[in-house]
Structure 1
Amino acid sequence: MAIVPIILAGGAGTRLWPLSRQLYPKQFLSFIGERTMLQDTARRLEKLETASPLLVCNDEHRFLAAEQLRQVGIEGALVLLEPVARNTAPAIALAALHAIGNGADPLLLVLASDHFIADADIFAEAVIQAVDLAEAGKFVTFGITPTRPETGYGYIRRGPRHGAGFVVDGFEEKPDSDIASAYVSSGAYYWNSGMFLCKASRYLDELERHEPAIVAACRDAMASPRKDGQFLRIDEAAFVACPSKSVDYAVMEKTADAVVVPLRTGWSDIGSWSALREAEGTDEQGNAFRGDIVAVSARGTLARSESRLVALLGVDDLVVVETKDAVLIAHKSRVQDVREIVEELKETGRQEHLTHRDVYRPWGHYDSVDCGDRHQVKRLTVKPGAKLSVQMHRHRAEHWVVVRGTARVRKGDATVVLTENQSIYIPVGEIHALENPGETPLEVIEVQSGSYLGEDDIVRFEDRYGRS
């Protein structure tokens, strides 16, 4: 029976601010190694014989997700777009409905896009062991053998052996430290990884039994899906009406057919800075450093630098994370509360919870270098062969200076080609477009000036990415 991987990429990762942000959440970041967490999840599937993965993500992340899959050689994977977030149970229901749409009934391998798994071979072996159970109608969840009394994870209580796994005797919420210690000592509990394998039809049947409103809303949303390149769009109004509930609460904790297969390898959901420190390992002083870090007499500290030198002197048990526009300094005992900083940023009308200084677009990215009342400076990087939309601005003019590569510029009815050290002026209201006709990245310094500099001052006439 075919296995269809379902990769859920809708998380926010607020506890990993300032790296993880609303428009660039943790699944699209690299924390351990060079690849992003989404890319690691997708590449992990190479150890298995599966169909092409189906990615479920938020509409505003669609180009980022597609580009990251393309970078690791996964071309044209279908990306199912959620117009709003409704948690994991509806997301999986949408994927299941799509999977059975052509009369098939494959096994769904449901994976989070933001998990660290140390050994891909052991992961693949566990999935293979689970196939017979899933084909027999079981809901197979993968339990992580605990290595410490972790209070940040849910637990699965193991019952009698059943095939390659064990009957699930119960799911336990995140415990306090004493209860967690008892769980680990007993040897009868696993960490709940949130990954599972089951038939598509079984998932829909069981979900309809316990949460019929979710299935009804998802059926309505998938009644007339619209294909947009590699993106699959659903009915927004129908999905907005869908209840929001996790798959654990909606199905896994209610079904009588849950089975747990042990997954005996290093694992983490990288849900906080302390979890990242545990996953990537520490030096003899208990430190975990990444980037340009100089430390003297520092212990038990995680420090990450994205753009400049970070110097530590005589500090213990801290988390220090530097980006181009924000620095987090927290005691490691408070890392679960980083989301309070994010809420404070929202309430005070700031933007640092939304996006980084580097903003990614389907044509490339830009870095907001400087900004004032009536000016803004950006460094644009345009991918080879990419083109910004044909557009105009009502409130701002733009000056473009090419610093690397070749630019093809439309200005009104004229088209000009610019090379390094050449520039052009785009007046307010002028229809224009910027394109990279070359084979290397194009870098342009853009100076905006005018009475309003917001990103919503764009009138698009043509756009190869479907945004006009």
Structure 2
Amino acid sequence: MPSPAPIVPVILAGGSGTRLWPVSRDSLPKQFQVLTGSHTLYQQTLQRVADPSLFAAPLVLTHEDFRFFARRQAAEIGMEVTVALEPMRRDSGPALIAAALIAQKLHGEDCLVLALAADHVVLDEPLFLDACRAGAQAAAEGQIVTFGITPTEPSTAYGYIRPGSPAGAGGARPVAAFVEKPDLATATRYVAEGYLWNSGNFFFPASVLLEEATRFEPDMVAAVRAAVETAIEDLGFIKLDAGAFATAPAKSIDYAVMEHTRRAAVVEGRFRWSDVGSWDALHDLAEGDEAGNVTRGPVTLLDSRNSYFHSEGPLVAGIGLDNLSVIATEDAVLVMPIDRAQDVKGLVAQLKTERHNAASEHLKAHRPWGSYQTVCRGERFHVKKIVVEPGGRLSLQKHYHRAEHWIVVKGTAEVTLDGRVFEVRENESTYLPLGGVHRLANPGKIPLELIEVQTGSYLGEDDIVRIEDVYNRP
């Protein structure tokens, strides 16, 4: 008897998640943030497919800007992943075609692919795994399966699926129709008529998805196939060819394939699920106090109810509040009625138009080697806190307009300056003159923390001339 085809989890982790601003921003989107529980949404997704008796090692598709987050956060929970890099966002159609092609290269032509968004929350893992087993049965018979979620309410935040009949393998039913996000009255009717929420997660044989995509979107498949065939290995990542991938039409897998194919099936998922598309979704997911408040971080309330509070540092105190969402980070605070959460995307667009840096960038900037955060800045100085992870190495570089002072507050720094290599220990400092060719590294076993004081006529991040970089950045 032939062995069953391997199930390859594909984690789509390239989105931006602007509806969860100010926590989720372009520089560090929601999938790599801790919003529920003690792990990031991406880590939670990986943990759901960690059983080696059921799943092969995950394949992660993400944007090049997030490649080190994807690898580092997987390593933090003891998982090894293959990471493929999309050079630009082209929606889920090209992403899943690329995933199918790469999965075939890694696991054979007959592999089954379980495609999951990295930023969803699933609260009933046993029921999720039951749905996966049912989906695998249907996919093994040549169907492209989508997971439809049993609605808990007539939500206007999701698209819906109308299941057909009869049920086939694993209880999968043919998809009679996909419908867009409805108004409340229509959503109420959909729930009464047995429609399911469209979760945007899929199960399919790689060969079948490619066959159907070639039927309906031949140009998309040709472009993505060229991008995969000419991909290069870069520091252990699979880097798709940018020129070829850019020619793929930007289109979701729903529009590209699912709404046209006769092989679409739906498996009903009875697990509690959310795409965490807005702050009110996080309020609904959590168990509130006796007054209906949900809090995360340093929050103190008096005579307040039915509200959501999230703080990443500053103390948030409230009196007499009702039906509000308050989200505080170190450099931005969002306050709104809890039912206006869907308007955050428009607010972020306005902030970008007004050129607010906080619209896209966090105060704490993450880099492959660690992070840095502004402490204080003025006309001719900039003070930063720099953290270099164990084994991390900054690029060998120089500056045309600034000098730097480094004061080590924790760990030991290995400093390269104009060809000389020396160590700077806790409570010691060193000076890097303007134009000096230098590098900072952490040879130790604990994070290196230092204060950097920049002085000069121009202090922008673009005044960096990289001479050598172990992370292959330009």
TM-score scaled to structure 1, two decimals?
0.97
Q: What letter is aligned with 1:44?
A: R
In structure 2, C-alpha distance between the alignment counterparts of 1:438 and 1:218, rounded to whole Å? 42
State the superposition RMSD in angstroms: 1.3
Structure 1 stretches (4+) deviating beyond 4 angstroms? none
In structure 2, C-alpha distance between the alignment counterparts of 1:254 and 1:390, rounded to whole Å? 52
| 2:390 and 2:442 in contact (8 A); partners too | yes
Q: Does 1:185 align with 2:189?
A: no
| Aligned counterpart, 1:15 | 19
Partner secondary structure for residue 335 of structure 2: strand
| 2:404 and 2:455 in contact (8 A); partners too | yes
CA drift of 1:144 comes to 0.8
| Aligned counterpart, 2:143 | 138
| Aligned counterpart, 2:181 | 174
Deviations 1:402-452 (A, max 9, x none): 011111111112222111111111111101111111111110000111122
Identity level (%): 47
Say which is worse superposed, 288-297 or 215-224, in terms of deviation.
215-224
Q: Does 1:115 align with 2:120?
A: yes
| 1:162 and 1:259 in contact (8 A); partners too | no
Partner secondary structure for residue 101 of structure 1: helix
In structure 2, C-alpha distance between the alignment counterparts of 1:30 and 1:453, rounded to whole Å? 32
Q: What letter is aligned with 1:38?
A: Y
| 2:296 and 2:310 in contact (8 A); partners too | yes
Deviations 1:189-222 (A, max 9, x none): 1111111101111111111111112111112212
| Aligned counterpart, 1:98 | 102
| Aligned counterpart, 1:208 | 214
Aligned residue among 342, 352, 360 for 1:354: 360
Q: Does 1:270 align with 2:276?
A: yes
In structure 2, C-alpha distance between the alignment counterparts of 1:99 and 1:417, rounded to whole Å? 45
Instruction: Kindly report which structure 2 residues correspond to 1:379-458, keeping only aligned pairs within 5 A, or say none.
Output: 379-458=385-464
CA drift of 1:290 comes to 0.4
TM-score scaled to structure 2, two decimals?
0.96
| Aligned counterpart, 1:124 | 129
| Aligned counterpart, 1:373 | 379
CA drift of 1:467 comes to 2.0
In structure 2, C-alpha distance between the alignment counterparts of 1:93 and 1:354, rounded to whole Å? 29
Deviations 1:308-363 (A, max 9, x none): 11011111111100001100011112110101221112111221122211111111
In structure 2, C-alpha distance between the alignment counterparts of 1:92 and 1:452, rounded to whole Å? 44
Instruction: Kindly report which structure 2 residues correspond to 1:3-402, keeping only aligned pairs within 5 A, or say none.
Output: 3-47=7-51, 49-75=54-80, 77-101=81-105, 103-160=108-165, 161-163=167-169, 164-186=171-193, 188-402=194-408
Say which is worse superposed, 379-388 or 79-88, in terms of deviation.
379-388
Q: What letter is aligned with 1:8?
A: L
Q: What letter is aligned with 1:62?
A: R
| 1:289 and 1:304 in contact (8 A); partners too | yes
| 2:235 and 2:471 in contact (8 A); partners too | no
In structure 2, C-alpha distance between the alignment counterparts of 1:462 and 1:354, rounded to whole Å? 28
Q: What letter is aligned with 1:73?
A: G
Number of residue pairs the alignment of both structures matches: 466
Deviations 1:243-302 (A, max 9, x none): 101111111121111111111111000000011111123222221110110111111111
Partner secondary structure for residue 71 of structure 2: helix
| 2:20 and 2:278 in contact (8 A); partners too | yes
CA drift of 1:105 comes to 2.4
Partner secondary structure for residue 428 of structure 1: coil
In structure 2, C-alpha distance between the alignment counterparts of 1:231 and 1:374, rounded to whole Å? 39
| 2:295 and 2:308 in contact (8 A); partners too | yes
| 2:109 and 2:207 in contact (8 A); partners too | no
Partner secondary structure for residue 222 of structure 1: helix
CA drift of 1:112 comes to 0.2
Q: What letter is aligned with 1:275?
A: A
Identify unmatched segments of 5+ residues in structure 2.
none
